[in-house]
């Protein structure tokens, strides 16, 4: 079976340890084992553990506790996997046949785009677009901050705009052949959270053609939550984003401990779905990794105990709320070229820029010339954007951003010079940058085609 190159993960794997400033992480500073064990039984129990095979679908206690995160679910609704990525893999593998189609939210973490194309053969995009609340305008109507004057310069509150579901594109993408609608909510890379109307529109579209909804909710619990914007979730105290669970019969939730819980190294993910479907998916998991790892299963039981779970999510939100204003101060210093809608959740911010360079070329320049790793918009199916992770050490972040300043200043000076002088034919370096830009557009058109 052929499968598309997963550009985002491949480049991150190649370069994250090769740069001085890795700003491509999408989670928060991972927890230490001792923080996790703090207040738990005497850590001596850890030494006595026998590293046997764990229950293949996760221990009963763990599955019960995961179910509690979704209110009206029980342990038979849960399968534990190795990371959220395996949850997505198993869900798509188990649901899709050749000839099916999958409607995929764009921008997105494009694992599911690649899986849809591999297992079904076809993926159809529907979009989140930058839109003023109550309006129907697309991103183009806003232009860039300070460039078209559409959105007020310095509007780090988004100037009343948000990443909203483009319902027309959803309607176009969902056809009789659609077997799965994939949403990532809260969204990666924008940090957008769907509102109730938008969630209803997705359920209606799924019902219309009897499709499954696969909702990747791995960022749920990592809310910025300003001004009580996000409603309380039924049965779950705190400002957690609403889940798709319970809104429609044919829903599979995929999630895990990597993002909102700050525990990517445990590699614990899960699928929550109808018990019969979850049992069927277990038989696919039997051909893959068979079980989660024993130690991670034990640690995850501690994490998902409801009081501890809420304390861990509070830690994540604390980091996000402390760090985001520092990042936003930097963003404001580039109001002349940046457009920015604040994330509702996730330690990730996606920034549009108005400079004559494609996102992959900019990513390469920052990596090679400044030793800074960001994630280019093209890796999420969008154009001139970069995603910056802000969930780690904030001083480290600011030092990395200062390096980015140097490249942005060069690019701005170049733009000003080009505006003043007649165009010269491009030298070899500019030809290479242009080729990289074309490459990135080809990648994008593969996604948008």
Angle at alpha carbon of residue 400, lines to 394 and 402, rounded to 5°: 105
| Cβ pair 372, 403 in contact under 8 A | yes
Q: Which is nearer to ligand PLP, 96 or 155 (CB)?
A: 96
- Dist CA 342 CA 348 (whole Å): 9
Q: How far, in Å, CA of 441 to CA of 439, rounded?
A: 5
Dihedral over Cα of 37, 63, 191, 267: its sign: positive
Cis before 405 (ω within 30): no
Minimum CB–partner distance for residue 81 and ligand PLP (Å): 9
When the beta carbons of 78 and 145 are compared against ligand PLP, the nearer one is 78
How many residues sit in the footprint of ligand PLP (CB under 6 A)? 13
Residue 55 region by backbone torsions, left for phi larger than 0, else alpha for psi between -120 and 50, else beta? beta
Out of 6, 21, 70, 109, name the contact with ligand PLP by CB under 6 A: 109
Q: At its nearest, how many Å lie between ligand PLP and the CB of residue 170?
A: 19
**Pairing label, strands 122-132, 101-106:** parallel
> Per CB under 6 A, which of residues 33..92 are in contact with ligand PLP?
83-85
Handedness of CA 26, 31, 32, 37 (dihedral sign): negative
Closest CB to ligand PLP among residues 269, 383: 269
> End-to-end distance of the chain based on CA atoms, in angstroms?
21
**How is 330-346 classified by DSSP, letter by letter?**
HHHTTTTTEEE---SBS
Nearest residue to the partner ligand PLP, using Cβ: 83
Q: Mask: binding to ligand PLP, 239-258, rule CB under 6 A, as x and -?
A: -----------------x-x
Query: Which CB, 86 or 233, lies closer to ligand PLP?
Result: 86
Give min distance, CB of 343 to ligand PLP, in A: 13
Residue closest to 35 by CA, chosen among 295, 317, 261, 324: 261
Residues 262-281 that bind ligand PLP (CB under 6 A): 264, 269
Beta carbon nearer to ligand PLP, 159 or 191? 191
To ligand PLP, the closest distance from the beta carbon of 153 in angstroms equals: 31
- Give 53-121 as a 3 state SS string: CCCCCCCHHHHHHHHHCCCCCCHHHEEEEEHHHHHHHHHHHHHCCCCCEEEEEECCCCHHHHHHHHHCC
Nearer to ligand PLP, 178 or 184 (CB): 184
Site string for ligand PLP, 160-199 (x = CB under 6 A): ------------------------x---x-----------
Using the minimum distance from each CB to ligand PLP, give the nearer residue, 11 or 258.
258
DSSP SS3 for 312: helix
Cα-Cα-Cα-Cα dihedral sign, residues 257, 16, 317, 107: negative
CB-wise, 221 or 269, nearer to ligand PLP? 269
Which residues within the stretch 372-401 sit at the binding site for ligand PLP (CB under 6 A)?
none
Q: Least distance from C-beta 219 to ligand PLP, angstroms? A: 7
Report if residue 216 touches ligand PLP, rule: CB under 6 A: yes
Q: Which residues are near ligand PLP by CB under 6 A?
A: 26, 83-85, 109, 184, 188, 216, 218, 256, 258, 264, 269
């Amino acid at each position: 079976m052929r499968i598309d190159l997963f550009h985002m993960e491949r480049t991150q794997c190649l370069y994250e340890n090769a740069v001085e400033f890795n700003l491509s992480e999408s989670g928060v500073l991972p927890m230490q084992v001792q923080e996790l064990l703090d207040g738990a039984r005497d850590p001596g129990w850890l030494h006595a553990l026998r590293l046997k095979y764990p229950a293949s679908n996760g221990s009963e206690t763990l599955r019960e506790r995961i179910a509690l995160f979704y209110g009206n679910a029980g342990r038979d609704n849960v399968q534990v996997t190795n990371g959220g990525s395996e949850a997505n893999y198993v869900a798509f593998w188990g649901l899709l046949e050749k000839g099916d189609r999958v409607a995929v939210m764009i921008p997105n973490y494009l694992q599911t785009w690649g899986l849809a194309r591999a297992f079904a053969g076809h993926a159809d995009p529907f979009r989140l677009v930058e839109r003023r609340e109550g309006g129907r305008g697309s991103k183009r109507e806003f232009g860039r901050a300070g460039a078209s004057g559409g959105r007020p310069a310095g509007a780090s509150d988004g100037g009343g705009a948000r990443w909203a579901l483009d319902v027309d594109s959803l309607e176009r993408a969902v056809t009789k052949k659609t077997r799965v609608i994939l949403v990532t909510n809260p969204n990666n890379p924008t940090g957008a959270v769907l509102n109730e109307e938008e969630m209803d529109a997705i359920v209606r579209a799924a019902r219309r053609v009897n499709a499954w909804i696969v909702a990747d909710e791995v960022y749920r619990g990592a809310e910025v939550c300003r001004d009580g914007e996000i409603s309380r979730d039924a049965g779950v105290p705190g400002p957690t984003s609403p889940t798709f669970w319970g809104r429609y019969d044919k829903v599979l939730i995929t999630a895990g401990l990597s993002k909102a819980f700050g525990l990517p190294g445990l590699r614990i993910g899960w699928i929550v779905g109808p018990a019969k479907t979850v049992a069927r998916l277990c038989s696919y998991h039997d051909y893959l990794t068979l079980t989660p790892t024993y130690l991670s299963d034990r640690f995850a039981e501690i994490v998902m105990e409801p009081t501890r779970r809420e304390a861990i999510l509070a830690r994540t939100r604390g980091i996000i709320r402390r760090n985001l204003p520092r990042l936003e101060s930097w963003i404001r210093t580039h109001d002349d070229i940046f457009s920015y809608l604040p994330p509702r959740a996730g330690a990730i911010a996606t920034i549009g820029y108005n400079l004559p360079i494609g996102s992959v070329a900019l990513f390469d320049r920052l990596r090679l010339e400044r030793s800074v790793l960001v994630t280019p918009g093209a890796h999420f199916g969008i154009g001139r954007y970069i995603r910056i992770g802000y969930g780690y050490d904030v001083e480290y972040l600011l030092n990395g951003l200062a390096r980015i300043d140097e490249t942005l200043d060069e690019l701005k000076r170049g733009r000003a010079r080009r505006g003043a002088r007649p165009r010269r034919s491009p030298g070899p370096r500019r030809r290479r940058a242009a080729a990289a830009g074309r490459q990135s557009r080809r990648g994008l058109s593969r996604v948008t085609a």
